[in-house]
Amino acid sequence: MADQTSQNDNQNGSGLPGGGSSGTGRGRLIIWVIAGTLLALWAYSYWGMGPSGGERISYSEFRTQLSQENVERVEVEGNTINGTLKSQATRTEQGNSVEYENFVTYLPSFGDEQLMDLLETQGVNVMTKPESTFPWGLVIMGLLPVLLLFGVGYIFLRRMQSQGQGLFSVRQSKAELYDKDEEDTTFDDVAGADSAKEELREIIKFLKNPKRFEGLGGKVPKGVLLVGPPGTGKTLLARAVAGEANAPFFSVSGSDFMEMFVGVGASRVRDMFSEAKETSPAIIFIDELDSIGRKRGAGLGGGNDEREQTLNQLLSELDGFEENEGVIVMAATNRPDILDSALTRPGRFDRQITVDLPTKQSRHEILKIHARDKPMSDDVDLDEIARSTPGFSGADLENLLNEAALLAGRHGHDAIRYSDIEQARDKVMMGLKRDGLVLDDEEKRLLAYHEAGHAIVGAALPNADPVHKVTIVPRGKAMGVTQQLPEKDKYLYRLDYILDRLAVIMGGRAAEELIFDTATSGAENDLKQVRKMARKMVLDWGMGDQFKHISLGEDQGNVFLGDEIAKGREYSEVTAREVDEEIRRISEDAFQRAVDTLNEHHEAFDQLAEMLIQREEVPGKDVLKLMNGDADEIGHMPTTNGEVAAEENGSADEHTPDETEVTEEDESAEESRASGPSDAS
């Protein structure tokens, strides 16, 4: 659809062969004409209003030439005297001699009563002209800014026309109308989101056969709001509705209503609904609704009047005094928490459809759709990829296969191999390898023990996710990663699972203290994760010893500046100190469990650290062999090219990193996972 839109723009605008260049040429010609006119007026004001010509001489020199009877004729206009000599004279100016015959001079302010008698005595031909009283200077100086303003206005209008707007069309709706023949996306192109598709199919059925529902006394929802995280396919669902429905489909972004002119947003809303009513039944889709639907008057600075007027007009069109029959409004947003309550009430956006992150089965279906036009080798198992990518959105999965295709092309493969997909996961989740980063032996040993501490604790505790891969290859901001792959998607988190998870996170710091009797800055992200998770346990999940059956946390964070000032903390200072003590106790208990676990499995701990120093990357199955005492069964780890890996291997599986040192991206991912139980419950 985007390609189709760009083609239409090219046909209507400057994309026609010769059309754009012709318009640009005319524009440049007009600009040069205006510039030339301004220059001519300036030159006339500077030179043309003065003397008509001749060498400018002093009045004393004029009297000298007159006394020498060398003046033939003079023309007097006001105080200006233009004259001609009988023979050329020479004057010296800055050391240079200048010959002249015509001259210009000015009468002194005190006058010269003897001048006329002297001119008559010598027979000089005297001509007089009345002094002009028209204020040419003022006129020209007044025209200059007017012409400059016209030039700026012309340039502005040209820019508007190049963007498909005119002077009188700026208030018109920018919604694009799509017919069924123009949009080939259907629900078959949308994997997963079965409940959302069912709700939208109901709306399509109503548009096709409204009497079936009206006979039962039912009314179609006036507004449908698609809510979900970024990349989950909200806009794709709207495109599928455009392809499925036999009704005009208007698509517009929320930011398209806003312009630099006051009142344009509300006018565009009115114009959009007016067009939709003329072609009803019709569907209007507003993408990124939160750009115009934010709460009115929120925060310290109040609201934006222009945005609020646009929102008020939208509210009126959705459910105002006039009936809005035959027009269904769809909208998408990933920030429903900041929308105005009047926008989401019944009668406006009275049906909210949640488009959540895909499940394992949905991920498998999404991968099959994106793999349709890509050659895959026989070793690629899409079901295994779906299992190893919990938390991935549809956009993430599409990007994963695209990166794998690029890597396959870089390696010269005829088809995408499983190793290409594994390397793509490393690149997408952790960033590019930092090949220029060189660690000395001491730092490498410390990093190896740190990651080995995470892995051994994760492999030993019964409720922790299985260890999938351990690596000390620097990628992005991460110096090393211990990845754990859950056996299935989790929606509820048990207390014993969370406690084991905290111990795994503390495994790196515990390893530093046990082996080196020190602490490093590499555990910064670990400690932040423990603090955030322990705080949610106490405040939100009721998992603290002293706060077992109470939630002290807020429902949601403050999204507008100033909200935290109006809302105070809902518990006392004494309770706050007890909360801090509880968080500290949970953190210390997690650290002690990690220490005890490493002491219990010290042999496997040392072996894994040495293996990381040699290989830099160890798969989870080898970690399990070390835990079972089967170190002799561990062979050399092959690289993607089939050689023995003495350095970083990019062919291991990856899943959302559970442990990464000093990386904000993985810290955000961890915080999202930590909030899962709250959302699920």
Q: Tell me if 287 sits within 8 A of 252, measured CB to CB.
A: yes
Rounded to a whole number of angstroms, the CA Rg of the chain reads 40
384 is catalytic: no
What's the one-letter identity of residue 646? A
SS3 label, residue 438: coil
DSSP-derived secondary structure for 506-550:
HHHHHHIIIIISS--GGGHHHHHHHHHHHHHHHHTS--SSS-SS-
**Region for residue 73 given its phi and psi (left: phi exceeds 0; alpha: psi -120 to 50; beta: otherwise):** beta
Alpha-carbon separation of residue 588 from 184, 511, 534 (angstroms)? 58, 15, 11
C-alpha torsion sign, points 519, 522, 527, 533? negative
Residue linked to tokens 């009988």: 86
DSSP-derived secondary structure for 565-616:
HHS--SS-HHHHHHHHHHHHHHHHHHHHHHHHHHHHTHHHHHHHHHHHHHHS
SS3 label, residue 53: coil
> What is the dihedral angle through the alpha carbons of 565, 571, 575, 577, rounded to the nearest 10 degrees?
-10
Distance, in Å, from the CA atom of 11 to the CA atom of 633, rounded to the nearest integer, reads 68
Question: What is residue 638's DSSP assignment?
Answer: B
Tokens of 673: 């996972």
Which phi and psi (to 5°) does residue 93 adopt?
Answer: -135, 115
Q: Tell me if 532 sits within 8 A of 671, measured CB to CB.
A: yes
Q: Tell me if 238 sits within 8 A of 193, measured CB to CB.
A: no
Distance, in Å, from the CA atom of 256 to the CA atom of 265, rounded to the nearest integer, reads 8
Q: Which of 259, 275, 451, 670 is catalytic?
A: 451
Distance, in Å, from the CA atom of 152 to the CA atom of 150, rounded to the nearest integer, reads 6
Tally of CB atoms within 10 A around 23: 16
Q: Tell me if 178 sits within 8 A of 249, measured CB to CB.
A: yes
Q: How many CA atoms lie within 13 A of 287 on its CB side?
A: 16
Which phi and psi (to 5°) does residue 246 adopt?
Answer: -90, 55
Q: Tell me if 541 sits within 8 A of 497, measured CB to CB.
A: no
- Catalytic residue ranges: 451
